[in-house]
């Protein structure tokens, strides 16, 4: 199997189109057409991770954080980044990153963090702005079921945990075929009236070409009529952070200790907030301070994230309990989900490809 098929599998779950617009997700270094011999998963690309991949004969490294956060003006082989690039290229190792697209998808970074803490009824803390279009087309009734199926296969009609979602309204369509036409129904040179169904389905904007191809290939008409509308409603399929509930109320100090234990974090910083017992918990893996106000608005008792500044702790000290469990510790659990999904994908395709989750040596130490 080529690397590209692995990329497509990941992007079906965490589409690049949902990533922060300034993020650099996807292929970082290498050849997507190379055959995959082994895969190493790592939160970051480090020299140790590269050496481990070489040792284990893995020619694909999938990281969460991209090696290139900003446009590259030069590659200085004497720099740390340049040496990583050189080592990867010389050993024919491809580097691929799923960053904010993995943050913003279901069962991504924040959902996994919520599950790790034992939360239930997990949803996005804030849904993403719309990234969707609505397709409207008109089709004879006897062709509707097949067209809905083909459009669904192309990715249309997904709303939350539901697929094949559509709206159908019966009506009457008219057309007059000119001399060079070959109408599927009726005759050219004659004004025809046909009982049709107005079919509506939504889809993500990055699936536009695929959905249109499915429409034009499977619609019975020679010249199908259709409209594409941009949507402004929030996207229920993607979002920021997560919110869920503990099975029962818990003393705040006990919950802080649970966070520390479950994430294997050597140290956590926290404020007590305004509640002694907590149950509704907001989380955001990595740097999530921008979502604190949203967590308060949603009635969360606690917000768990990382990289909280000193003054931010003070600003919200009496409004909500804040827990900073560290950037690495709130994001690393997502590699378990990536590993699980890749194992299932490889097994389904009857491929025996080595898959390693790398526990990188952390440069930041705690005492």
For 255-303, write each residue's pLDDT tens digit: 999 999 999 999 999 999 999 999 999 999 999 999 999 999 999 999 9
Q: Which residue has the tokens 């090696």?
A: 67
3-state secondary structure of 15: coil
The pLDDT value given to residue 180: 87
| Res. 367: pLDDT tops 70 | no
Distance CA 103, CA 23 (A): 12
**Cross-strand pairs, 235:** 128
Name the CATH architecture for the domain at 109-128+239-330: 3-Layer(aba) Sandwich (3.40)
Provide, for the chain, the percentages of residues in helix, strand and coil under a 3-state DSSP scheme, each rounded to the nearest 5: 30, 30, 35
For 12-61, write each residue's pLDDT tens digit: 999 999 999 899 999 999 999 999 999 999 999 999 999 999 999 999 99
The pLDDT value given to residue 361: 57
CA nearest to 157, candidates 119, 206, 209, 211: 211
Alpha helices in the chain (DSSP H): 3-13, 47-55, 80-90, 100-103, 109-116, 144-153, 208-218, 252-262, 292-297, 310-315, 327-331, 334-348
* Residue 247 near residue 118, CB atoms below 8 Å: yes
Which CATH number describes the domain made up of 3-103+333-357?
3.40.1390.30
If one counts every other C-beta atom within 10 angstroms of the C-beta of residue 69, the result is 12
In sequence order, what are the residues at sequence separation of 6 or more whose Cβ sits closer than 8 angstroms to the Cβ of residue 278? 246, 249, 250, 251, 252, 255, 301, 302, 321
The beta-carbon contacts of 210-218 under 8 Å, at least 24 apart in sequence, are 210/154, 210/155, 211/135, 211/151, 211/154, 211/155, 211/156, 213/154, 214/150, 214/151, 214/153, 214/154, 214/156, 215/135, 215/137, 215/147, 215/150, 215/151, 217/150, 218/146, 218/147, 218/150, 218/151
The reply to whether domains 109-128+239-330 and 132-233 share a CATH topology is no
For 142-182, write each residue's pLDDT tens digit: 999 999 999 999 999 999 889 999 999 999 999 898 988 88
Average model confidence (pLDDT) for the chain?
94
pTM, entire model: 0.88
Sheet (strand 269-270) strand order: 120-128, 235-251, 277-287, 302-306, 321-324, 269-270
**CATH T-level assignment (fold) for domain 132-233:** Alpha-Beta Plaits (3.30.70)
| Res. 188: pLDDT tops 90 | no
CA nearest to 242, candidates 127, 100, 102: 127
* Residue 221 near residue 130, CB atoms below 8 Å: no
Distance CA 271, CA 160 (A): 34
Q: What percent of the chain has pLDDT over 70?
A: 98
Domain spans, the chain: 3-103+333-357, 109-128+239-330, 132-233
- For residues 307-340, one letter each, b for 16 or more C-beta atoms within 10 angstroms of the residue's C-beta and e for the rest, the string is ebeeeeeeebeeebbbbbbbbbbbbbbbbebbbe
* Residue 162 near residue 111, CB atoms below 8 Å: no
């Amino acid at each position: 199997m080529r690397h590209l098929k692995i990329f497509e599998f990941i992007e079906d779950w965490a589409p690049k189109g949902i990533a922060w617009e300034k993020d650099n997700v996807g292929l970082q270094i290498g050849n997507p057409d190379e055959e995959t011999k082994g895969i190493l998963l790592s939160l970051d690309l480090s020299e140790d991770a590269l050496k481990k991949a070489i040792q284990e004969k893995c020619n694909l490294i999938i990281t969460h954080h991209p090696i290139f956060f900003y446009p590259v003006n030069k590659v200085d082989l004497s720099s740390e980044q340049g040496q990583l690039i050189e080592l990867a290229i010389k050993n024919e190792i491809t580097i691929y990153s799923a960053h904010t697209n993995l943050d913003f998808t279901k069962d991504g970074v924040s959902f996994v963090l919520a599950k790790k803490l034992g939360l239930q009824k997990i949803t996005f803390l804030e849904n993403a702005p719309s990234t969707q279009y609505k397709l409207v087309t008109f089709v004879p009734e006897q062709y509707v079921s097949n067209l809905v199926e083909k459009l669904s296969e192309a990715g249309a009609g997904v709303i939350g945990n539901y697929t094949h979602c559509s709206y159908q309204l019966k009506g009457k369509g008219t057309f007059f075929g000119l001399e060079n036409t070959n109408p599927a129904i009726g005759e050219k040179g004659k004004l025809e009236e046909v009982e049709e169904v107005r079919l509506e389905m939504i889809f993500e904007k990055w699936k536009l070409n695929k959905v249109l191809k499915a429409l034009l290939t499977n619609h019975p008409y020679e010249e199908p009529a259709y409209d594409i509308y941009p949507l402004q409603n929030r996207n229920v399929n993607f979002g920021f952070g997560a919110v869920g509930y503990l099975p029962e109320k818990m003393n705040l100090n006990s919950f802080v200790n649970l966070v520390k234990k479950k994430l294997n974090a050597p140290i956590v910083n926290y404020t007590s907030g305004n509640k002694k017992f907590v149950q509704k918990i907001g989380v955001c893996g990595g740097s999530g301070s921008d979502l604190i106000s949203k967590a308060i608005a949603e009635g969360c008792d606690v917000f768990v994230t990382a990289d909280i500044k000193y003054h931010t702790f003070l600003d919200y000290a009496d409004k909500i309990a804040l827990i900073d469990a560290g950037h690495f510790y709130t994001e690393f659990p997502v590699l378990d989900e990536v590993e699980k999904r890749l194992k299932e994908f490889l097994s389904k395709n009857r491929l025996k490809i080595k898959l390693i989750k790398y526990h990188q040596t952390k440069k930041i130490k705690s005492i």
